[in-house]
Amino acid sequence: MFTFVFWILLIWFIINVIWMWFVLNKQGYQKTFAWINVCAIIIGFWVYYGVSHNPGALADWFICLNWVNVVLACIQFYFGYRKLNSND
């Protein structure tokens, strides 16, 4: 389960980052991605700390991926909830 969830979260992260940059000015999409990312973060930390796994390279990458997802969610929340200028 640990390895499976890692690969699912990694694929989601890659798709999320790529798609996010194409819709930077669409706040609805950014909010949606941010909240989905929050769910992915909760699942990621739950699996990391709740499922037994061997300490090693994959575990290190897994926790790194979780924290990078936290940063990405913060960026998405910024783009999703920022106030846009109506003069643009």
pTM: 0.83
Give the residue, 8 or 56, on which the prediction is more confident: 8
Give me the mean pLDDT over the 32-54 stretch: 91
For the segment 6-33, what is each residue's pLDDT rounded down to a tens digit? 999 999 999 999 988 888 888 888 899 9
CA distance 72 to 55: 25
Residue 42 above 60 pLDDT? yes
